[in-house]
Structure 1
Amino acid sequence: MPEVLFDFTAHGKLLLTAEYFVLDGVPALAVPTRLGQRLRVVRSPEPGLRWRAFDHRGDCWFTAHLPEQDWARTQVPGEEPRARISQLLHAAESLRPGATTALSGLAVDTFLEFDRAWGLGSSSTLVAAVARWLAVDPYALLELTFGGSGYDLACAVAEGPILYQRTDSQPLVTPLDWHPAWLKHTYFVYRGQKQNSRDGIRAYRQAQVLPAQREAIAAATLALLSPTLHLRSGAQILAQHEALVATALGMEPVQAALFPDFPGQTKSLGAWGGDFIWALSEAPAEKIHAYFNGRGFPTVIAYEQMVG
């Protein structure tokens, strides 16, 4: 067996509130998921760096061999996996000179535990793991590569729910003891239309967002954390949150567009239009599953199964 030099698993993520607004310093409620991505580094008899990526089924979907120090010479543009890996290594080297000088003769394997299409953080878990491996600041590494608010990096190493706030320097990450009983009546439903987060961010930046809207989103997030909150009040808060985001972006809330007869409240998560929605309802679990399954959404996951 080859010598294992590094082995780390980063959690996936779900942003429950303040999507888009988190970019402007609005406090956001986020949770790490049970499933994440593992990065393992072993010695290899070959020169250069060998990289393989495995999906949640255990199938190798990507493999590459990077020549010795090839990544340190120039920033490689592109969206394909090889270019992204080169970008990560190049950025790590720029953040800590010498960070990648000893990578020749190593082999990296990544193991994704969730479906790549789900949008739970295949990129952010990779950034978090690479940053831990090469001992660089994960938020600086994210800024130089994929970009974004950074809440997903906080989730990658969190042990439970967090309140995340972006600042001009290091973000404020507050661990929360937030496990209200009503969460057992909530579900995550995959819409099957993965969205590009960068496109969503671009659309948000073009919107005319008012300070009052940011303040209202922050208030909704804090209200959701109240220890005396019950399910119906939580549903009202999420309905208000949806209306605020819809007004800011000029988009229709998912409940009005797809689920007007749902016996509860639904909320979009992440970039609107894809990935998961969050559904709250007092109806029995079997009725919730039947409702969404009957409308062409087969992936319905209880909160405690996803977050746990």
Structure 2
Amino acid sequence: MKKEFYSNGKLLITGEYLVLDGAKALALPTKFGQKLIVEQGTDQEIKWRSFDADGSIWLQETLSFEDVLKEKSPVQPESVKNTLIEILRQGYLLNPNFINKSQGFQIRTELSFPRNWGLGTSSTLINNIAQWLEVDAFVLLNNSFGGSGYDIACAQNDCPILYHLENGQPVVEKVKFAPDFAENLYFVYLDKKQSSKASIVSYYNNKNEALNEDIIANNKITAAVLSAKTLAEFALALEKHEAEMSIILEMQTIKESIFPDFNGIIKSLGAWGGDFVLAISKENPTEYFRQKGFHTIVPYAEMIL
């Protein structure tokens, strides 16, 4: 019997990095996501195929149940296959029946966005696996991949959310965010995949001693972004957010480093230095970014649910 599961992709508008320490983050589920299709298999094996948005196979593996059950080696090299095995192993620990009562599986995943876009290839996979195994996706994420969990919340919700951790537990609040100035918002892909894991490690290594003040400042900015009635108010809040995070991370803003002559505001989204940025502009900035060598410019209405 075939089973299908689907999860939304994500973009983090405010609260990057600080969300790990309890700051409130505004996150938006995307129209793009990932599907998981599960069918019965044989031989106590999991035949796995993952397809990119263009229909090409980017992962094809046959995993034995034994691969999933055995303890992870401390020196096991980092790879997509080993990460997948670890997610499945943690899923097994939460629900052993998925292997104990099965003969095997044929599994297919399908992305509706290019894998290198960084919209949540891992988080949509984890949420889909959690749905399949009927386990808590936040627990599965924490036990396998790590992170704040805002991406799991986006995978599960079809509207904007305000997300934070309270005593280590996820708190998800559905919010209204449908700006009248959406036509002035564009998502630009920097064509440079950024590792979330590596960025998190770097953040913790450079964590500011004034963390509580940083979180309070972030929460005020997030509230200002949500309440902004005009493009000018929205742009001002996100410009302030970039300046605050630049100090915390001890990094130049993306506008300073790559787009200093841009007539508008540019906001990093998620891990700084890669994936998408949000461009705020009174005029359509597509030609500007193309001249700079960036050819994936997605209007807000085409990206966000």
TM-score over 0.5 (shorter chain): yes
Is the aligned partner of 1:295 residue 2:289? no
Using the TM superposition, give the Cα deviation of residue 68 of structure 1 relative to its aligned residue in structure 2, in angstroms. Answer: 3.2
- 3-state SS, counterpart of residue 6 of structure 2: strand
- 3-state SS, counterpart of residue 163 of structure 1: strand
In the aligned structure 2, how far is the partner of 1:202 from the partner of 1:176?
30
Q: Residues 268 and 278 of structure 1 are in contact (CA less than 8 Å); yes or no, is this contact kept in structure 2?
A: yes
How many pairs does the alignment contain?
301
Is the aligned partner of 1:43 residue 2:44? no
Q: Residues 44 and 102 of structure 2 are in contact (CA less than 8 Å); yes or no, is this contact kept in structure 1?
A: no
In the aligned structure 2, how far is the partner of 1:167 from the partner of 1:104?
40
Aligned match of 2:226? 225
Aligned match of 2:192? 193
Q: Deviations over 1:191-244 (max 9, x none)?
A: 111111111111111224212121111110011111x52101111111100000
Q: Deviations over 1:173-205 (max 9, x none)?
A: 011121011122100000111111111111111
Is the aligned partner of 1:8 residue 2:9? no
In the aligned structure 1, how far is the partner of 2:207 from the partner of 2:115?
33
Q: Write the mapping of 1:123-138 to structure 2, written as runs, cut at 5 A.
A: 123-138=122-137
In the aligned structure 1, how far is the partner of 2:277 from the partner of 2:288?
14
In the aligned structure 2, how far is the partner of 1:225 from the partner of 1:70?
46
In the aligned structure 2, how far is the partner of 1:8 from the partner of 1:159?
15
Q: Which stretch shows the higher mean deviation, 33-42 or 176-185?
A: 176-185
Using the TM superposition, give the Cα deviation of residue 151 of structure 1 relative to its aligned residue in structure 2, in angstroms. Answer: 0.3
Q: Specify the code of the residue in structure 2 equivalent to 1:274.
A: G
Q: Deviations over 1:143-181 (max 9, x none)?
A: 111110000000001111000011224311011121011
Using the TM superposition, give the Cα deviation of residue 97 of structure 1 relative to its aligned residue in structure 2, in angstroms. Answer: 3.4
Q: Specify the code of the residue in structure 2 equivalent to 1:244.
A: E
In the aligned structure 2, how far is the partner of 1:47 from the partner of 1:172?
38
Q: Residues 131 and 138 of structure 1 are in contact (CA less than 8 Å); yes or no, is this contact kept in structure 2?
A: yes
Q: Residues 92 and 100 of structure 1 are in contact (CA less than 8 Å); yes or no, is this contact kept in structure 2?
A: no
In the aligned structure 1, how far is the partner of 2:254 from the partner of 2:41?
49
In the aligned structure 2, how far is the partner of 1:179 from the partner of 1:56?
27
Aligned match of 1:28? 25
Aligned match of 1:87? 86
Q: Write the mapping of 1:138-153 to structure 2, written as runs, cut at 5 A.
A: 138-153=137-152
Q: Specify the code of the residue in structure 1 equivalent to 2:278.
A: W
Q: Write the mapping of 1:133-212 to structure 2, written as runs, cut at 5 A.
A: 133-209=132-208, 210=210, 211-212=212-213
Q: Residues 190 and 276 of structure 2 are in contact (CA less than 8 Å); yes or no, is this contact kept in structure 1?
A: yes
Aligned match of 1:59? 56
Using the TM superposition, give the Cα deviation of residue 46 of structure 1 relative to its aligned residue in structure 2, in angstroms. Answer: 4.7
Aligned match of 1:101? 100
Aligned match of 2:267? 267
Aligned-residue CA RMSD (Å): 1.4
Q: Residues 69 and 101 of structure 1 are in contact (CA less than 8 Å); yes or no, is this contact kept in structure 2?
A: no
| Percent of aligned positions that are identical | 39
Q: Specify the code of the residue in structure 2 equivalent to 1:148.
A: G
Using the TM superposition, give the Cα deviation of residue 281 of structure 1 relative to its aligned residue in structure 2, in angstroms. Answer: 1.1
- 3-state SS, counterpart of residue 235 of structure 2: helix
Using the TM superposition, give the Cα deviation of residue 92 of structure 1 relative to its aligned residue in structure 2, in angstroms. Answer: 1.1
Q: Which stretch shows the higher mean deviation, 101-110 or 296-305?
A: 101-110
Q: Specify the code of the residue in structure 2 equivalent to 1:260.
A: P
Aligned match of 2:281? 281
Using the TM superposition, give the Cα deviation of residue 44 of structure 1 relative to its aligned residue in structure 2, in angstroms. Answer: 2.8
Q: Which stretch shows the higher mean deviation, 17-26 or 88-97?
A: 88-97
Q: Residues 186 and 302 of structure 1 are in contact (CA less than 8 Å); yes or no, is this contact kept in structure 2?
A: yes
Q: Specify the code of the residue in structure 1 equivalent to 2:164.
A: Q
Using the TM superposition, give the Cα deviation of residue 258 of structure 1 relative to its aligned residue in structure 2, in angstroms. Answer: 1.6
Uncovered stretches (5+) of structure 1, i.e. residues with no partner: none
In the aligned structure 2, how far is the partner of 1:259 from the partner of 1:85?
37
